[in-house]
Structure 1
Amino acid sequence: MNQGNRKGRRGQNDIFTYRRIRRAIGYLGLLLPVILVILSLFRFFDTSLQPSISDYYYTNFREILTGTLSAVGVFLIRYKGHDNESFFKNDQLLTNIAGIMALGVALIPVNPAPGQEKLYTLIPYDLYWLGWLHYGFAAGLFGIFALLALNVFTIGQEQNEEIPVSRLNENHIYRFCGIGIIVCMLLVPVSEKFKLFENSTLVLEAVMLFLFGAAWLIKGRALGDEGKLGEKLYREHNNKNTEEAVEN
């Protein structure tokens, strides 16, 4: 095997590794609210629906919450994105910051409801402002998720200009997800203040995680990229020849 073939296979393996990590991040984001809500419906677990995903920290599902967020954080930190001179398009820097934010959300819990006892993880002090720090990490995390979808994922790869842009084009999906996350972020405090509907914060957080997960799964090509699907999503004919694929 010559050196060119070895480099080609190494580059192909790198692409597949990036895609697997993207899929893992996407699946974790999608499954977290689904698992928490489904388990809450079973009386066996003696845990009702919580006001928000963060409030599950004070239930017997705490390990699911913190474990999933920690896994997302580690994946994001280990994910080697592409450098860019612009901070707002720097894949590697933004994912590293998002990973730290995810770990912050997991390790610094929201303040307990009245009558609940404070449970500690990282910082063993009952300081009220730590609960607000939790919200700060969460806002930063979702904000970066939106930024990645809008500014980084839309950079895309080299596309076949002969294939027309479909309504299902990946960039349209990324923009929809990014804008959706921002809208939900703005609606959370509004819904808390005016009580727009029951479990509004939980629903909006779940929607944000769904949008985040969907963007990462599309970027990770979880649905495949061959045939008509590849043409509509990625403007590619058949991506079997991955050695020639140029990916960002």
Structure 2
Amino acid sequence: MPAQDRKAKFDAAIAKHEQAMDKRRAVVKSFYRVRQALGWLGFMLPALLMVSGMLARTGVEPSISDFFHTVSRDIFVGIMFSIGTFLIVYEGYDRQPDETIADNWLATIAGISVFGVALFPNESPTGEIASVVQQTVGVGLSPLFHYSCAFVFFYCMGHFCMFKFSKTSDKPRRKIYRGCGWAIIFSCAGLFFGSIAKKMGPPDVSAFIVDFDVIFWVEVVGVWAFSLAWLVKGRADQEMLAIAPTVPRQMG
């Protein structure tokens, strides 16, 4: 093959490779920004609620959801809707043969469930109707929808950590993802048994859970585990792209 033809073929291969890399960079950048947004929103949710409670001189509520019934409602609902929106627009990677659900479907289900957590209030301490949705479905049914949506959200986030993020990572990050997944599972179990003990347990146990805001802190563990996993995953994708080759080194 003449040298001129080889050079033209090589230039075409470089151009095609650069186009593929540009497309990959754009996708990773989009993933990174969404994952960072999700991670920081998850981190800020409990932190801002605690600060708001201190400024309002109401302190920490028994649970994160209980802030809906305080002057911090706007912070709770606003951040939850932001998390839900970012989850719904998240594309993720295509479903692999050994996976039961694609990233975008799992994230969409999680995002819709977050909307449900924000829209359907839990039990009101005063028994008063606090939202249009609560008035529509009834004060008694609203907490049922609220807790069901919360369970779906935590399940989806645990699934991401245990079965999605940990598949394509190195060993140290795989430990972080699985640790976050187990923390989310612990949070769900703690919420379930803690709620039962609070309502049906001995008076001293119930008082301990209320006095030390046990439910709130168990929820914080789950939310911050979700936050850490998304922050680490976003960083990992950027590092993978940084070490990827840019153009072929030699002709032929």
TM-score w.r.t. the length of structure 2 is 0.79
Structure with more helix by fraction: 2
Q: 1:74 matched to which residue of 2?
A: 85
Equivalent residue in structure 1 for 2:35, among 16, 19, 22: 22
- Are residues 99 and 60 of structure 1, via their aligned partners in 2, closer, same or farther at CA, if it must alter by over 3 Å? same
The answer as to 2:206 corresponding to 1:239 is: no
Q: 2:155 matched to which residue of 1?
A: 143
Give deviations 1:79-120, integer Å, cap 9, x for gaps. Answer: 00123255645212111100110111111111211x242211
CA distance in 2, matches of 1:112, 1:191: 18
The answer as to 2:133 corresponding to 1:130 is: no
- Structure 1 segment 180-219 matched on structure 2, within 5 A: 180-192=183-195, 193=197, 194-195=205-206, 197=209, 198-219=212-233
Structure 2 unaligned spans of 5+? 1-13, 198-204, 248-252
Matched residue pairs, number? 221
Q: What percent identity do the matched residue pairs reach?
A: 27
Equivalent residue in structure 1 for 2:168, among 127, 150, 156: 156
- Are residues 242 and 30 of structure 1, via their aligned partners in 2, closer, same or farther at CA, if it must alter by over 3 Å? farther
CA distance in 2, matches of 1:46, 1:222: 40
CA distance in 2, matches of 1:14, 1:243: 16
Contact 1:108–1:121 (CA under 8 A) maintained in structure 2: no
- Are residues 201 and 185 of structure 1, via their aligned partners in 2, closer, same or farther at CA, if it must alter by over 3 Å? same
Structure 1 unaligned spans of 5+? 160-164, 226-235
Cα shift at 1:239: 2.7
- Are residues 29 and 121 of structure 1, via their aligned partners in 2, closer, same or farther at CA, if it must alter by over 3 Å? farther
Cα shift at 1:223: 11
TM-score w.r.t. the length of structure 1 is 0.81
Contact 2:36–2:234 (CA under 8 A) maintained in structure 1: yes
Larger radius of gyration: 2
Paired AA for residue 13 in structure 1: A
